[in-house]
Chains A and B, each alone.
Chain A
Amino acid sequence: MASGHVIKRAKYKTSPKGAGTPGVLKMTENKIMFKPNDPTSASKIDVEFRLIKGYKNTKEGSNNPPLLNLSLEQGGSYIFEFENFLDLQVCREFVGNALTKSGDAAKAKSGDTAKAKSGEAVKAASDRSTVTYPDEQLISSAEMELRIKLLRENSELQNLHKKFVLGNILTESEFWATRKKLLDGDSGTKSKQRVGFKSSMILDIKPMTDGRTNKVTFNLTPEIKYQIFALKPAVHRAFLNHVPNKMTEKDFWTKYFRAEYLHSTKNAVAAAAEAAEDEELAIFLKDDDILANAARQKIRRVDPTLDMEADQGDDYMHLPDHGIFRDGSKEITDSQHEQFKRTFLQDLNRQGEVVLEGRTIDVELEDPRTVAEALAQSRQESDENAKQERLDRISRMTEMEDLQAPHDHPLAPLCIKDPRDYFDSQQLKTSDDTRAGSEQLRCSLSSEEAYGSLRGSISEIKAMGLSDPVVRPEVAVMVLNGLTQNISSTKFQLGKNAQEGILNSLPNTTKEELLHHWISIQELLRHFWSSYPITTSYLYAKVSRVKDAMSKIYPQLEEIKESVPSDLRQQVFLLVRPMHQALDAAFQHYEADLQKRSAKSGDKPNGYV
């Protein structure tokens, strides 16, 4: 949509497998045209976008060639094969934009304000092609999708979008530029925050029984498989070794759950017997040697204040067979089948550990091999840091915190019991004269003045050094007061006149209208103020567009004021007034700026303000 049209080499196909006709694909605002290289060929296409219902395309990286499939409203479809994925990308975006536009236009047509809006839309489309928008073309398809998704999810946003973007007041990129956070934030969460494991995951793998037979069924999702792999590295290794060379995946999991069942029966002898018969089953029944090795590694890094393994190394009392063997306080173990006796308690510990480690990898769960590599990498840590940390922790642990003076400097706690009191008293202090002062401050300095004052202060510093405060205290106080006053006034109003109360007392339509206008005004004002100072003709055009839109809303507000019943008029007036004020301020600024520009345009020929 950006440049108005796209021309690419492509092959037209009737089916994905067919050979296709080579030719040139040309797409404009509302039309798609295909001209075959061979002028005699019959496959010439000329179709309008509004007749196209949707589109599909092949993904990059798949084995398929870059195909774009446009399906028609009446049924049937056009398939184009491009020379490379880059072309496909460009065309797909173009199609996507054009489709949303024509779709919106179609929707608008069916509405009550049909004629006016569709006219606008058409005009918008043609207008837009005349102005160049620098960043428009950089939008990736992913971002486009994200935008569409956001619009779909947020009806308010959709309304705004319809009103301003399609109403030709703002351009697409301008509209989204102020919402970068929405876009970024969404994609940011995707990459940064990973969902950890559930802390009760090992309890979640439960079989289903049909109640009549002894058969049980397990439903395994990739997620569950991944959890099992994370919990039991040996199972994972076995999976890599045996599937699919030695057995099918289904057999593998059947064996696994068979082994789990044997564990749950706590019959170590039976487990040992079965393991002797079936060596694959034995893998699941034996202790996990990978875990044992990891444990040996980890035990070296453990905090010495809880290292019980060191105790064992120091314990000459419990030499084998020395000490009291069976006095009731000690437990009995059956050492013979020890290796087949993994307990539920051990599993619990293991799962706690895995949950704490969190999901260390961020790859597709489907492919276990990459998972294994990622797991191995993430497990390497630097030993040195751990050692230092251990030492630090010990020294922290040994100190008795309350016997010595606190480490940090004493602080006077800030205690505001009633924020309203606090801010009210602040407001009293800032009487009218300071307000005047702050307004004066706010009024714009000319560049000569600013330059002069900067020079003055630099020379002052040069002469006297930095001993004096950079900012004069009076100014600092003024700024502070100005700021706190703003805070306090909002606090004040929020506390005292419950706006929701007024809004709720209004009839629903009025309320919605008011809210809608308020949001629109906010949006417009944001754009308005953000375009200052006007440095390019583009900004100038934007400002005038925005200003026109605002001046349209102004009388609408007046209408609302008059339409409400008289008993509510006062309250509506209160609500509308700040909007009017904000708009007035904007208009004022616009006028003043216009005058200044016309006055100064002689001195500054390049339009610089």
Chain B
Amino acid sequence: MKFQIEDVTVYFPYDHIYPEQYAYMVELKRALDARGHCLLEMPTGTGKTIALLSLITSYTLSKPNNPVKLIYCTRTVHEMEKTLAELKLLHAYQTTHIGDRARILAVGLSSRKNLCVNSRVLAAENRDSVDASCRRLTASWVRAAAAANPNLPTCEFFEEYEKAGSNAVLPPGVYTLQDLRAYGKEKGWCPYFLARHMVQFANVVVYSYQYLLDPKVAGYISKEMQKESVVVFDEAHNIDNVCIEALSVSVRRQTLEGARRNLSKMRQEIEKFKATDAGRLRAEYNRLVEGLAQRGNLPFTDNWLSNPALPDDILKEAVPGNIRRAEHFLHVLRRLVQYLEGRLETDNVEKEGPVGFVASINTHAGIDQKTLKFCYDRLHSLMLTLEITDTDEFLHIQTICDFATLVGTYTRGFSIIIEPFDERMPHIPDPVLQLSCHDASLAIKPVFDRFQSVVITSGTLSPIDLYPRLLNFHPVVSRSFTMSLTRDCICPMVLTRGSDQLPVSTKFDMRSDLGVVRNYGRLLLEMASVVPDGIVCFFVSYSYMDGIVNSWNENGILKEIMQHKLVFIETQDVVETTLALDNYRKACDCGRGAIFFSVARGKVAEGIDFDRHYGRLVIMFGVPFQYTLSKILLARLEYLRDTFQIKEGDFLTFDALRQAAQCVGRVIRSKADYGMMIFADKRYSRHDKRSKLPGWILSHLRDAHLNLSTDMALHIAREFLRKMAQPYDKAGGSGRKTLLSQEDVEKMSDGILNEMQY
């Protein structure tokens, strides 16, 4: 359908539109007009992505002399694929209705691991070794050597791509990762470098958060994005965590051991070069004297992870004299490693600010702050000079240099915490030194500064006023939308008591209580016998899940559950979890359904949809609080309190509830879908916890459902499922319209818009 929002003609690929999608587009359009940032919360299952994509592409179409580029950031690769698939649908619609004018180029970008088509490179185990094997075939010096000696292996795909030169372009269209690989194979061009190249010209780029937020990656991938771009962070409820992770480094014993090995390897290399090609080292020295840390524009393939510090904070000056010579630099690094080893040999938890830590390094190891700051650049230069291709081998020394650069650059918003062992396992010594960032606004600041509009959107951004404070920005639009439902297709419940009427909770003093474990088991068992198809369960942590599944096994509940449905479980092994999910879907497709056990904050909770029959019920066992005794969390809470005046308790509850809401929100994908959500913990009945849930869940949480026991919940579930199985009128016949046709949209007044907002 086609309709008008103020001066923009919006092309929407479906015959109908939800009113909240329309309202969402209106707000988004205003934000684009104002060239400002915005924060939009809209429930899951209301078609955020397609609304967003069609508005922004239509916006560009209606303003042809001022085109905006869309940079769409997703958290995961499978979300990237989903987004591109939706964009494909939209693109097909737009080109049939407008013609060639609507043609755009949209590419997804991922790592070599996901894009490479060279079977020799792909044989490598993990991402880092894939990167390294690629460099082994494509680095500029390798190719130069291969030109002289044809026996040296190179990558035929990259050579073909290079040969094609400026002709190597992607024709307009929407390319998922799979499409890119297929195109690359067909043409014989390297899809990874082709995509990297095309990112500059594409109208829509879809990639992962970190390609913008993590300076190490953004430094070489997103450097040349123009200011006239709209950046969208989808599913952004965890964006603050991504930001602080991007600037954090941890050093363990293994790291230091690896770094020592790296240093001696580099020393050997230097000796070798001294004997054979001393001119090269001298050339590097001269370049450093001239103040060029980098060799200007590096060939595409030589790029590696860049400076961990944010672009504005990197000093544009010459490398200090004491580390210009390669041997001297190695000495400095060796002293640094030695110092860190000494710090790890501690029996107590130590916490320090960066300033104190740098001062201590200076007195004990004789390395000053400025030297620390240049560590990364100096290492990078040295590795290029030494022509090191095994980048995966040198990650340890890279980590040390990242640490040094960050600790030398930032004086506030960070702390250094040294723990001799994990508090939960005090008998296993595993010392770790962590540089942890507390301020999420640091990493995202360059993005806000650089781009015209940044859209942060998710199904759960409640309380919506907290995010601008955490990320330190001023949105021009900040809205939360309700969900207009044709029927009550979600049924949230708070279960506070088990079948024996005793309270259930995962509170620390209750979680190992056998009664609670049994009550949780009975709840799942009863539900498994009533609910058709898929059931998803979320636990507060892996260790808790492991414990509870084992005790269910011991007292026979698990066996009873398996009489009804097959059980699949998320484990820490990603491959296994993926296969388990695949099997779970198979089981839901063909039989009596299955149960999936997962972990809040885990990978599954983050991005897998359990829509339709893949999830008719989701049970959240307990409140997914963070481990509150964690030193890092405490330091962060302290920082938040001092800097943003956010109370510790508030933040913890907010964090736990956004995770819970995220977990239960996975069951619904459209209004035709339906699902139940059970919050199984007595603490959810308290107002201060519950009120942090997003509005679209709260508005369906009836007072009668706030304090249920297992038998009552079972009764409600039966009723609900029976009701949902009936045919219904999709347009929402009486009263409010929940599905708008083209005429409805044209006739619509602003009245409906106001209704949609809180």
**B746 proximal to A (CB < 8 A):** no
Q: Are B210 and A329 in contact (CB under 8 A)?
A: no
Check A470 for interface membership: any CB of B closer than 8 A. Answer: no
- Over the window 416-432 of chain B, the binary record of Cβ atoms lying under 8 Å from chain A Cβ atoms (1 yes, 0 no) is 00010010110010001
B206 CB to nearest chain A CB (Å): 12
Determine if B628 is an interface residue (Cβ-Cβ < 8 Å): yes
| Closest partner residue, chain A, to B543 (CB atom) | A331
Interface set, chain A 288-319, CB cutoff 8 A to B:
295-296, 298-299, 302-319
Which of A342-350, A495-503, A546-554 is the interface stretch?
Answer: A342-350
Contacts of A199 in B (CB 8 A): 562-563, 565-566
A327 CB contact (under 8 Å) in B85, B545, B585, B630: B630
A326 to B579 CA separation, bound complex (whole angstroms)? 27
Q: Determine whether B329 belongs to the interface, using a CB cutoff of 8 Å to chain A.
A: no
- Chain B residues with CB under 8 A of A402: 16, 670-672, 730, 739
**Is the beta-carbon distance between A326 and B50 smaller than 8 angstroms?**
no
Is A320 in contact with chain B by the CB < 8 A criterion?
A: yes
Please name all residues of chain B whose beta carbon is closer than 8 Å to the beta carbon of A307 when the two chains form the complex. Answer: 77-78, 578
Is residue A405 within 8 Å, beta carbon to beta carbon, of the partner chain?
Answer: yes
Given the interface contacts A323-B248, A345-B569, A353-B579, does A328 sit within 8 Å of B78 by beta carbon?
no
In the docked arrangement, what's the CA distance between A319 and B245, Å?
11
Residues of A within 8 A of B573 (CB): 346
In the complex formed, the residue of A with least CB distance to B632 is A327
Within the assembled complex, what's the spacing in Å between the Cα atoms of A245 and B36?
77
* A603 located at the interface, meaning its Cβ lies under 8 Å from any Cβ of chain B in the complex: no
Interface string of B364-406 (1 = CB under 8 A from A): 0000000000000000000000000000000110010010000
Interface centre among A200, A315, A321 (most CB of B within 10 A): A321
A398 touches B86 (CB 8 A): yes
In the bound complex, do residue A326 and residue B581 qualify as a contact, i.e. CB atoms below 8 Å apart?
no
Q: Decide yes or no: A321 and B396 within 8 Å by CB, A295-B579, A328-B633 being known contacts.
A: yes
Beyond A316-B210, A321-B399, A349-B579, is A326–B432 a contact (Cβ under 8 Å)? yes
Residue interface mask B478-493, A partner, CB < 8 A = 1: 0000000000000000
Residue of A nearest to B213 (CB): A317
In the assembled complex, B200 has its CB within 8 A of some CB on chain A: no
B582–A302 CB distance below 8 A: yes
**Bound complex: CA A319 to CA B130 (Å):** 13
Task: Please tell me if the beta carbons of B15 and A320 are within 8 angstroms of each other in the complex.
Answer: no
Residues of chain B within 8 A (CB-CB) of A315 are 127, 208, 210
Q: Which residues of B contact A328 (CB under 8 A)?
A: 626-630, 632-633
**Which chain B residues border A397 with CB–CB below 8 Å?**
82, 85
Give bound CA distance, A137 to B577, whole Å: 60
- The residues of A that contact B629 with a CB separation of less than 8 Å are 328
Contacting residues, chain B, for A329 (C-beta < 8 A) = 601, 626-627, 630
CB A384 to nearest CB in B, in angstroms, measures: 13
Which residues from chain A contact B229 at a C-beta distance below 8 Å? none
| B412 adjacent to chain A (CB < 8 Å) | no
Q: B551-580 vs A: 1/0 string, CB under 8 Å?
A: 001000011001101111101111111111
- Minimal beta-carbon separation of B499 from chain A (angstroms): 22
Q: Does A418 contact B (CB under 8 A)?
A: no
B127 touches A312 (CB 8 A): yes
Least CB distance from B657 to A in Å reads: 15
Residue of A nearest to B403 (CB): A321
Name A400's contact: one of B47, B216, B585, B590 (CB within 8 Å).
Answer: B47
In the bound complex, CA of A345 to CA of B553 (Å): 11
A490 on interface, CB distance cutoff 8 Å: no
- The answer, among B15, B47, B632, for a CB contact under 8 Å with A405, is B15
**A324: contacting residue among B111, B436, B571, CB under 8 A:** B436
Evaluate contact between A345 and B245: CB separation under 8 angstroms: no
Question: Would you give the shortest CB distance from B641 to chain A, in whole angstroms?
Answer: 17
Q: Are B553 and A344 in contact (CB under 8 A)?
A: yes
- Contact bitstring A397-435, B, C-beta under 8 A = 1, else 0: 111111111000000000000000000000000000000
Stretch at the interface among B147-155, B250-258, B711-719: B250-258
Closest to B399 in A: A321
Do A309 and B627 touch (CB < 8 A)? no
Task: Kindly provide the distance from the CB of A396 to the nearest chain B CB, expressed in whole angstroms.
Answer: 10
B104 beta carbon closer than 8 Å to chain A: no
> What are 15 A-to-B residue pairs whose CB atoms are below 8 Å?
A296-B575, A304-B77, A306-B78, A306-B608, A307-B77, A308-B607, A321-B251, A325-B252, A331-B542, A344-B546, A348-B567, A356-B586, A398-B89, A399-B89, A403-B16
Going nearest first, the 3 A-B pairs with the smallest beta carbon separation are A328-B627, A328-B630, A313-B113
